Structure 1
Amino acid sequence: MDNQNSKFRWVIFTSVLFTYLIMSSQRTAPGLITDQLMIDFGVTAATVGLVTSIQFFVYTGLQVPMGMLADRYGPNFLLIIGANLTGVGTIIYSFGTHEFVLFFARILTGIGDATIWVNMVLILSQWFNEKEFTRLIGFAGMTGSLGFLLATVPFSALIVLLGWRGAFLSAGILLCLLSIFLYFVLVKKSQQSFFVASKIQREKTSVLLRRILSNRQAWALFLCHFGIVGGYIGFIGSWAVPYMMDVYGMTRLDASQLIMFSLIGALIGAPLIGWISSCLATIKRPYIVFHITVLLCWSIFLIFREHPPFYLLIILFFIIGFGFGSNSLTFAVVRQTFPITETGIVTGFANTGGFLSAVLLPSIIGYILDHFQSTSGSIGDGYYYGFFTPVIFSIFGLIGVILIKEKHQGAGREPNEKRTDFST
């Protein structure tokens, strides 16, 4: 089957993205039942926070290993197994009777979740040409944001209808069924191999890893993803609501509703930015523009001493979300400048940068707020100094995107073409 000219590639695209939608929703869905878990299991907020966040730690830590496994064994096997693991972990979570069971279930879910992005990128790169890929990877990024949206009002309604155990059990069963469906679509129907029997002699893992870690292009992609992802996921997903409650005196419900502006920005930005880049036949120039835009947005919080006018706050949240949508361009550059045999590990390495910043930023801001709370009894200035963190992270991102070396789109790269050397 000629993958890149087959109409069946759109079935592949839809199937993989729908799986990503459901899997990404389960990253944040446990946050909806934090208070219920504290009551049912008699545990502290810190314990529930650890159970909730462990998935992100597992996800971040497994990105590079997952990329190496994807390059060696192929994306079909890992994506199918990952969807099944996420489903099984979610089912175990729904039957949990002790916090250790919940902890184990979230680790299992994190392992499964770690497979989705790297392997989805590889699958789409196999079924779509370079120009299509640059446009469609934006829709893939939008799907992740839709997953976060699914884990708000829709999943809350399901919890009200079925109870939290019934809601998570339903999601787990759906993911297990999707893993079976993916096997039918990716392997049986498309006549592809479950495992990749590569004709290319594989390098030793240590040699390949050393080469990637000494490659300037790989580090540039790591940095630009580090700078654009952490501010959105790390701040919007953790401190945005408390910030608006403490600084603007908003209720939790009103602050949560305001976050929707950022989410809407991300939903619009991801496909639109990919389309703009495809039309301009360049990735680097629009990516630089959006990095600078996001950096300026975070800097405005410092200019207004953490308290910009309310109308401006709404605009800033929308633009930060819109700029976050450009993060999918990182993987368009990977697709463009690295051989297919290294795409998985480089994708995983770049994605590690993004989620490392998303893990670090909430902790750093939390430490700053605790410091001001303990020294002055108020966290008033804490948010001001806390906003230096996304500003600094964004500067790293801008440096990374400036360091990227881009090949002109249209200069196609065959799967086995010799690697373009971007090493320092």
Structure 2
Amino acid sequence: MSMLGQQTAYASTASRLGDRAYWAWATVAVAYAIAFLQRVSPQSVNLSLMHDFGTDAAGVAMLASGYFWGYTLMQIPAGLLVDRYGVKRVVLASMAASSLGSAAFALAPNLLDVFAARLIVACGDALVFTALLKLVAQNFSDERFGIMSGISQVSGYVGGVIATTPLAAAVTGFGWRACFLFIAAVGLANLVAAKFALKPNPVSSGNKTLKSVICAARQSLSHVANWGCAMTFASHFAVVTTLSGVWGIPMVAHFFDISPIAAGTPLLAFMIGNAIGSIFLGHAADRVAALDAALIRICVLRMILVAMLQPPIAKAFGLVYVTVVFTTLGLVAGGTVPLVLKCTKRLYTADLIGVGASVNTTAAGIFAGIAQPIIGFAMLVASQFAVADTAHGAGAIGDAGYGTLIAILLLMSLPGIAGPLLMKGKLIVQ
């Protein structure tokens, strides 16, 4: 009876620990969903921002750039901070910054304050996914790491889904300021839940110092293959985020002269495709032998899909066609991330995968941050010089502007082909 009682007690304890692990994971997953929503929300509010602050496409692009720069500045520190101080302290600080930044964004009286608020939001959001991956590694067995990592990625796409049609409808009904005040309130409520759900940093993690992690990060930059991995992810991130998170809804609204709510449907389909692709194609990625070749093929496919959104083609085939293209693009995008993560693990090993993720996301943030003002300016200039687009107004973006966007996105995709070539021969399982 005593043995049976001990077994029952152990089972009860394991069950409680398991419940707490999922509760803790859920709070950080919600934080990641909010972070993803923040990243792709400009497409649903940029028309309102143009109207309220009297700015144009170049001004909106500068605001988008501010988020990417804040996100980038915190990427290398993200891995170091999580390794040194643990998930709980970093995540709570991240949630606080994101929520306060959202409130500041909602209350901002001018574009400079909007830029600063988005910068604060980005600095908080940049910490979340690294912390989420570490939490999964700490709280779940190796046999469940893959599926929990995939579901963690999907939690972000849930936020992306909310940032499309639902957010566009909410902005139309309640205004963008009220929407972001509500997002800030949800973030603060999640912070309180996380404070009780997350466990303190394990004592064993103190063996790893900031100096040792910094040295490992510096050494990793000397390998060409690691730069190839960073190029691959940067190209994917910048292209997909620019299209789906900044200009997707305005572009579709312009093509078919429809409201932002209706134009959000293809982007909603894109986010759903992302979630499906990250699970099913991510599962298939475990069976891919030649990762470099797979990444090149998936990049070429992404370029073809982007090219299919050229204004004359999109307008000729209609909204259903555009929705199908965005859905397929979402599947491809969702399947790309697991392939890149797999390359990162092989190049950096499991011990330094946090460093590898930080290097990749830093490169992605720099690339996306530099690209946004250039894209906005090029779209504006192309629209102003196109005779057919002058009727839309001096600051409006017409067919020529969106055609320029597609052309730039195709050029930005080229590092996604060069990167895997630099990794060739370094991705063999040791």
Report the counterpart of residue 346 of structure 1 in structure 2.
356
Shift of the alpha carbon at 1:187?
1.6
Do residues 251 (structure 1) and 258 (structure 2) align? yes
Find the counterpart in structure 1 of residue 89 from structure 2: 77
- Deviation at 1:319? 1.6
The letter for the 2-side match of 1:92 is A
* Structure 2 counterpart of 1:16, one-letter code: V
Question: Is the 8 Å Cα contact of residues 72 and 196 (structure 1) preserved in structure 2?
Answer: no
* Residue 219 of structure 2 corresponds to residue 211 of structure 1: yes
Alignment of 1:127-206 (within 5 A): 127-130=139-142, 132-155=144-167, 164-187=176-199, 192-193=201-202, 197-200=205-208, 203=211
2:406 equivalent to 1:387: yes
Residue 285 of structure 2 is matched in structure 1 by 277
Q: Which of 113, 120, 132 is the equivalent residue of 1:108? A: 120
Q: 1:242 to 1:344 in 2, by over 3 A?
A: same
Q: 1:298 aligns with which of 288, 291, 306?
A: 306
Q: 1:306 to 1:30 in 2, by over 3 A?
A: closer
| Distance apart, 1:234 and its partner CA | 0.8
SS at match of 1:118: helix
Unaligned runs of 5+ in 2: 1-12, 389-397
Distance (whole Å) between structure 2 residues aligned to residue 346 and residue 44 of structure 1:
38
The superposition leaves residues 393-413 of structure 1 with CA deviations (integer Å, 9 ceiling, x where unpaired) of 3332133235263354xx8xx
Does the C-alpha gap of structure 1 residues 161 and 201 become closer, same or farther in structure 2, counting only changes over 3 Å? Answer: closer
Residue aligning to 2:35: 23
Task: Compare the two structures and name the one with the higher helix fraction.
Answer: 2
SS of aligned partner of 2:427: coil
Question: How far does residue 25 in structure 1 lie from its aligned partner after superposition?
Answer: 2.1
Match of 1:88 in 2: 100
- TM-score, structure 2 normalization: 0.77
Letter in 2 for 1:323: V
**Residue 131 of structure 1, CA deviation:** 5.5
**Two-structure CA RMSD over aligned residues (Å):** 3.8
2:328 paired residue number:
319
| TM-score between both structures, scaled by the size of structure 1 | 0.78
CA contact (8 A) 1:227 1:398 kept: no
Q: Which amino acid is 1:351 matched to?
A: T
Question: Which residues of 2 match residues 53-72 of structure 1 at below 5 A?
Answer: 53-72=65-84
> Cα 1:286–1:183, aligned 2, differ >3 Å: closer, same or farther?
farther
Identical-pair percentage: 19
CA shift in 2, pair 1:81/1:215, >3 Å: same
Shift of 1:108: 1.9
Helix, strand or coil at the partner of 1:237? helix
Q: How many residues align?
A: 401
AA partner of residue 331 (structure 2): F
For the structure 1 residues 27 and 230, does the alpha-carbon distance in structure 2 shift closer, same or farther, using more than 3 Å as the test? closer
- 5 Å-filtered alignment, 1:406-421, equals 406=427, 408=429
The Cα shift of 1:275 comes to 2.3
CA spacing shift, 1:58–1:181, aligned 2, 3 Å? same
Q: Distance in 1 between matches of 2:303 and 2:49?
A: 38
Supply the distance in 1 between the matched residues of 2:308 and 2:165 (Cα, whole angstroms). 31
**Out of 227, 230, 241, which is 1:222 matched to?**
230
Q: Is the 8 A contact 2:277 2:330 kept in 1?
A: yes
Q: Distance in 1 between matches of 2:22 and 2:251?
A: 42
1:44 aligned partner: 55
Question: Is the CA contact (8 Å cut-off) linking 1:298 and 1:387 kept in structure 2?
Answer: yes
